[in-house]
């Protein structure tokens, strides 16, 4: 176990290093850089009472030097990456600060949205697994029944409907017919209020719509995966033999085949964590959710290397950690899987 963890940790560090380099470089590929985007913002979208910054050569040169954009890109990347690793400093985002030349710390921007992203992610995972596993088991045990056909229809419908469209429909229905407050994660009275039981209940109420919208496609997909995998297991000799010996069906199914059929759920944790933290940028914009997705999209549009690189770095780290966790959990759930890759004797 120790040797396995050391190897996987070293591989994870190398993977994160490569991903951070590639993500930082990709943002630099379009023409221009962060300064060009910033100057365009200040000229076309300056606020009242503040004069836009002119495009004089002197100003551009001074800003580019003060922001460190006159150095080679690989040097910029290494300074940014080393600051994250050794100092915990994610750098400064200038485009997200509007006209503020001092910029906004990327760490503060992420910290302000990360908790709400985590709340939504946990809520979505709970909804996805609560519905996907039982429905998948039911569909497998009642293959070709009316219930199986109904859940199959609902599953394909959930996969086919775009998330943002489903979000708009739910917002309208809940507001028009049930008077449910839509948009955001809090009602107006609780946005700046300190945490309390009332604020927690208000948060849970507002999590329903985004949780359903973001989790619908994932739930539908996992239902199909659980159903098909469980059908494969139910046809194997050990299940047939156990049934012939009179072992109760539900006890047999839950104890053995479900554990094996649930492998995709466990192995999918690696991809689920970053995917849910992104919370689907378009859905977050439609539902006015204060998650990381919208600021990632905004940073990509403005070529904000520090902001986008930091968020992608966070996602990639979660993906690597999630894969490691899923590998360890698979060993616990499925006794056929060994860390060494070969069967143990004795």
| C-alpha 127: how far from chain center | 15
Residue pair 93/106 in contact (Cβ under 8 Å)? The answer is: yes
Phi-psi category of residue 24: left, alpha or beta, with phi > 0 → left and psi -120 to 50 → alpha: alpha
DSSP codes joined into one string, 83-131: HHHHH----EESGGGTT-TT-EEHHHHHHHHHHHHHHHHHHHHHHHHHH
How many residues make up the chain in this entry?
346
285-329 pLDDT, tens digit each: 888 888 888 888 887 777 777 888 888 888 777 777 777 777 777
The CA-atom distances, in angstroms, between 221 and each of 21, 82, 151, 153 are 33, 39, 11, 12
Residue pair 56/62 in contact (Cβ under 8 Å)? The answer is: no
For the chain, domains (ranges, CATH) are 32-107 (no CATH), 108-333 (1.10.3720.10)
pLDDT of residue 66: 72
Rounded CA separation 337/333 (Å): 9
Give the pLDDT means over successive 10-residue stretches in the chain (346 positions).
74 83 78 68 47 57 74 84 83 62 74 81 81 86 86 82 81 79 74 80 81 79 83 81 76 76 68 60 79 81 80 80 74 61 43
pLDDT of residue 274: 62
pLDDT of residue 100: 47
DSSP codes joined into one string, 158-206: HHHS-HHHHHHHHHHHHHHHH----SSSS-GGGSSSPP-HHHHHHHHHH
3-54 pLDDT, tens digit each: 767 777 788 788 888 888 887 787 777 776 677 766 665 555 444 334 444 4
Rounded CA separation 308/305 (Å): 5
pLDDT of residue 281: 74
Is the C-alpha dihedral spanning 312, 314, 315, 317 positive or negative? positive
Q: Please state whether the predicted TM-score (pTM) of the whole model is above 0.75.
A: no
């Amino acid at each position: 176990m120790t040797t396995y963890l050391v190897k996987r940790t070293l591989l994870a560090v190398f993977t994160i290093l490569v991903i951070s380099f590639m993500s930082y470089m990709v943002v630099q590929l379009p023409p221009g850089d962060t300064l060009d985007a910033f100057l365009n913002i200040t000229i076309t979208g300056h606020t009242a009472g503040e004069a836009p910054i002119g495009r004089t050569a002197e100003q551009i040169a001074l800003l580019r030097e003060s922001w460190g954009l006159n150095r080679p890109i690989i040097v910029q990347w290494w300074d940014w990456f080393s600051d994250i690793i050794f100092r915990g400093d994610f750098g400064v985002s200038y485009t997200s600060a509007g006209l503020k030349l001092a910029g906004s710390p990327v760490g503060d921007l992420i910290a302000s949205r990360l908790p709400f992203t985590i709340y939504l992610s946990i809520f979505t995972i709970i909804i996805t697994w609560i519905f996907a596993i039982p429905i998948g088991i039911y569909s497998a045990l009642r293959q070709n029944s009316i219930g199986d056909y109904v859940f199959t229809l609902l599953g394909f419908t959930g996969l086919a409907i775009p998330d943002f469209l489903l979000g708009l429909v739910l917002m309208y229905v809940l507001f028009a017919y049930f008077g449910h407050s839509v948009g955001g994660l809090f009602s107006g009275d609780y946005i700046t209020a300190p945490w309390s039981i009332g604020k927690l209940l208000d948060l849970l109420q507002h999590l329903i719509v985004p949780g359903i919208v973001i989790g619908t496609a994932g739930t539908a997909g996992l239902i199909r995966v659980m159903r098909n995998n469980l059908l494969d297991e139910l046809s194997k000799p050990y299940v047939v033999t156990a049934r012939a010996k009179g072992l109760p069906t539900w006890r047999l199914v839950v104890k053995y085949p479900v554990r094996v059929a649930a492998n995709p759920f466990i192995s999918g944790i690696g991809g689920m964590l970053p995917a849910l933290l992104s919370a689907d940028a378009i859905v977050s914009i439609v539902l006015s959710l204060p998650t990381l997705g919208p600021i990632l999209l905004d940073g990509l549009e403005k070529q904000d290397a520090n902001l986008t690189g930091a968020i992608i770095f966070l996602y990639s780290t979660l993906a690597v950690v999630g894969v490691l966790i899923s590998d360890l959990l698979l060993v616990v759930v499925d006794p056929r899987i060994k860390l060494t890759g070969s069967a143990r004797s004795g």
